[in-house]
């Protein structure tokens, strides 16, 4: 078994991320990784860090608002410094878990990008890019996808719209002021960001060395997490009710599965953005494999991140 080293995870404060952190911290000595927790600074971040420490893990909190790319760059710098100083063991995995579903697609991040695209996709592209030279092989990048990128039963039931792809520079642009917020627009933005993650995962594998492998985890639909916190009360109530349907996923069940993706030998063979739904390696729909979109996303992402960096925001 590969020495577990350090796992960096975003969005450790709640639900899926929190449960994954605790599952990793709960592993026995020798199989327990050190943890770099990247999340908004505050009580929740400290609480999960303390809980993980209570299990015996070495933990560092890195305060970061992922909607602000300057914060993301600073978080990567901090992670690099901790690794270089030997404060934590070598970096073996990055789990890009944080996510949001903005209810108003007119909302811009501090860098001027549509909020869902900024947090779910751009922040993680920045973080992964900044840390690529800091991994110790064999290392894993685990991104978090969602089946909402294409039409499926749950998506239809919940009314989350499927992705409508367009040029990534357009996807990054907040909606026009006169466009009234809607669940449909919010769902499209979320699904587009998740489709972007699949395209990015495929392209990322082509750009990194053999020592880093890229996979995408889908936790299953977990009703009642904070992801839907901005949805209308009726939608939240329906989500809670559907959550009682047997077999529906929960952070308690899916968190340890995500931890396994980052650490366990059983997933060491995953690469090329392999898509795992809970425990099942799954072929993505044909729409999620598109070399031209993947190439263009890579190029546009570099432009968008550079633009934010140049403006110093
Ligand atoms: N719930 C589902 O049914 C479902 C299904 C498929 C995929 N997923 C994916 O699974 C992942 C986790 O989802 P979840 O349901 O656990 O969501 P959640 O309860 O909303 O938790 C999201 C996490 O992301 C963090 N986050 C959001 N915006 C941030 C920002 N600007 N800066 C820093 N951290 C930020 C949150 O931090 P705060 O505590 O500071 O808000 C929280 O830790 C997401 O990528 C989501 O898209 C979820």
**Residue 200 CB coordination number (10 Å):** 25
Lowest mean pLDDT among 60-74, 99-113, 176-190, 218-232: 218-232
Q: For residue 153, is pLDDT > 80? A: no
231 or 29, greater pLDDT: 29
Query: What stretches of 11-104 adopt beta strand conformation (E)?
Result: 34-39, 59-63, 91-96
Strand order in the sheet with 6-10: 59-63, 34-39, 6-10, 91-96, 135-144, 212-218, 274-277, 280-282
The total domain count for the chain is 1
Geometric angle at alpha carbon 56, from 213 and 16, rounded to 5°: 50
- Residue 106: HSE in the Cβ half-sphere, 13 Å Cα cutoff: 7
Lowest mean pLDDT among 14-18, 103-107, 153-157: 153-157
Backbone angles phi, psi at 57, to 5 degrees: -85, 150
pLDDT band for position 40 (50/70/90)?
very high
Q: Give the whole-number percent of the chain exceeding pLDDT 70.
A: 98
Would 164 be classed as within a structural domain? yes
Q: Which residues lie with the beta carbon below 6 Å from any ligand 1 atom?
A: 11, 13-17, 39-40, 44, 65-67, 97-100, 119, 144, 146, 218-219, 221-222, 225-227, 251
Atom of ligand 1 nearest to the CA of 221: 3
Tell me what pLDDT residue 271 has: 98
pLDDT tens-digit series, residues 226-260: 887 888 888 788 777 877 888 889 999 999 999 99
Tell me what pLDDT residue 312 has: 66
Would 283 be classed as within a structural domain? yes
Expressed in angstroms and rounded, the spacing between residue 280 Cα and the centre of ligand 1 is 22
Would 95 be classed as within a structural domain? yes
User: Measured in Å, how far apart are the chain's first and last C-alpha atoms?
Assistant: 42
Expressed in angstroms and rounded, the spacing between residue 30 Cα and the centre of ligand 1 is 29
Would 122 be classed as within a structural domain? yes
Tell me what pLDDT residue 202 has: 98
Residue keyed to tokens 């020592």: 211
Q: Which residue range is the domain that position 150 belongs to?
A: 6-310
Average pLDDT value for the chain: 94
Would 1 be classed as within a structural domain? no
Residue 103 sits in a domain of what CATH number?
A: 3.40.50.720
């Amino acid at each position: 078994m590969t020495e577990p080293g350090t796992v960096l995870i975003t969005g450790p404060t709640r639900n899926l991320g929190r449960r994954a952190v605790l599952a990793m911290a709960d592993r026995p000595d020798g199989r327990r990784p050190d943890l770099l927790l990247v999340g908004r600074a505050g009580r929740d971040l400290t609480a999960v860090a303390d809980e993980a420490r209570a299990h015996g893990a070495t933990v560092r909190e890195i305060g970061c608002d992922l909607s602000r790319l300057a914060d993301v760059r600073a978080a990567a710098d901090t992670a690099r410094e901790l690794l270089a100083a030997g404060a934590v063991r070598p970096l073996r995995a990055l789990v890009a878990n944080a996510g949001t579903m903005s209810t108003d697609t007119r909302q811009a991040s501090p860098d001027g990008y549509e909020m869902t695209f900024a947090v779910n996709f751009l922040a993680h592209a920045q973080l992964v890019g900044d840390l690529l030279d800091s991994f110790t092989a064999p290392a894993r990048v685990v991104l978090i996808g969602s089946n909402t990128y294409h039409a499926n039963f749950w998506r239809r039931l919940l009314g989350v719209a499927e992705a409508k792809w367009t040029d990534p520079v357009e996807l990054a642009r907040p909606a026009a002021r006169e466009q009234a917020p809607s669940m449909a627009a919010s769902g499209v933005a979320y699904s587009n960001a998740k489709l972007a993650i699949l395209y990015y995962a495929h392209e990322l594998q082509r750009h990194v060395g053999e020592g880093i492998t890229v996979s995408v985890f889908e936790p299953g639909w977990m009703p009642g997490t904070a992801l839907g916190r901005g949805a209308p009360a009726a939608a939240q109530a329906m989500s809670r009710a559907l959550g009682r349907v047997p077999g529906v996923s929960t952070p308690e069940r899916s968190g340890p599965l995500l931890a396994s993706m980052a650490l366990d030998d059983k997933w060491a063979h995953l690469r090329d953005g392999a898509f795992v739904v809970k425990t099942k390696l799954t072929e993505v729909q044909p729409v999620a494999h598109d070399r031209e979109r993947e190439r263009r996303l890579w190029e546009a992402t570099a432009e968008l991140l550079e633009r934010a960096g140049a403006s110093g925001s």
